[in-house]
Amino acid sequence: MNENSSIKGIIFDMDNTLFDLVEAKIFACSAVVQYLEKGNSHELFGYFRRGKHGFESTENISDYMKDSGFFSEKNFLECCSIYEKEKIRSVKLYPGVRETIQKLRSMNIMLSILTDAEMKNARPRLEKVELFDSFDSLFTYDITGWKKPSHRTFIHALDSMGLQPQETLFVGDSLVRDIVPSKQLGMLAAYAIYGDRNPEKDRDNIMERPDHVLRSFNDILDLIRNGI
């Protein structure tokens, strides 16, 4: 590690920071619509973004099928299977992620993930991109008991890693759920703008601004080398 850097650990968001989960979900929705031979993939994806059941829940598929008038239990179960398989198959790392993680590990920096996903969803994605064993810790919603932007989930990660906020860098794509709470706790925050697929309104009237803006994932290396 650069001796001028005070950073001892980096905590990463996972979805849309390491890989584009939105794109993977859109591909999965397309596969469902193709199986049904009716409907619209973008309309189906819109059901996941409503917030009614949560971004991960397949109950969104059920609602879509019922509202569209072609629900059956058999088709629903098959659609769920297709959706989950295609979603995982479509998960691909952003450019430079694997190489950057490898270089950071060689610098003896603690690396962890803090995600709102549950372990049953997080682990398969990380295994798909062959990064599950590249992190010292994986903190999921079912482990911490809280979702971002709650400070409690960040504090759980910091305490578990034995780190102080001022010696920790948080990297995430959401200004609201990642940047604001990590800054409020005294962490350095790097905004992964390349992966931000959140609504425009989420970028307005933000109470805290990131310390750094990442145009690509490997920009993290420059921050560490420059002694942030």
Tens of pLDDT along 173-185?
999 999 999 999 9
Q: Are residues 83 and 106 in the same domain?
A: no
Instruction: Provide the pLDDT for residue 1.
Output: 45
Q: How would you classify the pairing of strands 168-172 and 188-192?
A: parallel
Same domain, 83 and 162: no
Any domain includes 112: yes
Q: What is the mean pLDDT of the chain?
A: 93
Question: Which of these three, 49, 67, 90, is where a domain ends?
Answer: 90
What is the number of domains present in the chain?
Answer: 2
State the pLDDT at residue 204: 65
Q: Are residues 13 and 32 in the same domain?
A: no
Same domain, residue pair 78 and 103? no
Kindly state whether residue 74 falls inside one of the protein's structural domains: yes
Question: In this structure, are residues 17 and 115 in contact, taking their beta carbons and an 8 Å threshold?
Answer: no
Neighbours of 56 (CB within 10 A): 18
Q: The whole model's pTM is what? A: 0.91
The answer to which of 21-35, 38-52, 163-177 has the lowest mean pLDDT is: 38-52
Do 138 and 69 lie in a common domain?
A: no
Whether 4 maps to a domain, the answer reads no
Question: Do 147 and 195 sit in the same domain of this protein?
Answer: yes
Nearest in space to 100 (alpha carbons), one of 146, 75, 141, 131: 131
pLDDT surpasses 80 at 117:
yes
Containing structural domain, residue 135: 9-18+94-226
**Mean pLDDT value across residues 151-165:** 98
Q: Which amino acid is at 11?
A: I
The pLDDT of 67-88, averaged and rounded, is 96
Q: Is residue 3 assigned to a domain?
A: no
97 falls in which pLDDT band (50, 70, 90)?
very high
* Residue 140 counted as domain residue: yes
Question: Does residue 69 lie in a domain region?
Answer: yes
Does residue 1 sit within a domain?
no
- Span 19-47, mean pLDDT? 95
Q: Which residues pair with 111 in a beta bridge?
A: 10
Confidence of residue 51 (pLDDT cuts 50, 70, 90): confident
Residues 156 and 204 in one domain: yes
43 and 153 inside one domain: no
Give CA–CA dist 173/178, Å, rounded: 7
Residue 126's identity, in one-letter code, is L
pLDDT at 2: 47
Same domain, 51 and 112: no
Q: Which of 90, 106, 129 is the last residue of a domain?
A: 90
Looking at the structure, do residues 120 and 148 belong to the same domain, yes or no?
yes
**Residues 139, 39 within the same domain:** no
Asked if 47 contacts 57 with a C-beta cutoff of 8 angstroms, the reply is no
Q: What is the mean pLDDT of residues 52-71?
A: 94
Residues 49 and 86 in one domain: yes
Residues 177-197 have a mean pLDDT of 96
CATH code of residue 134? 3.40.50.1000
Reading phi first (left if > 0) and then psi (alpha if -120 to 50, else beta), residue 34 is in: alpha
Which of these three, 90, 116, 142, is where a domain ends? Answer: 90
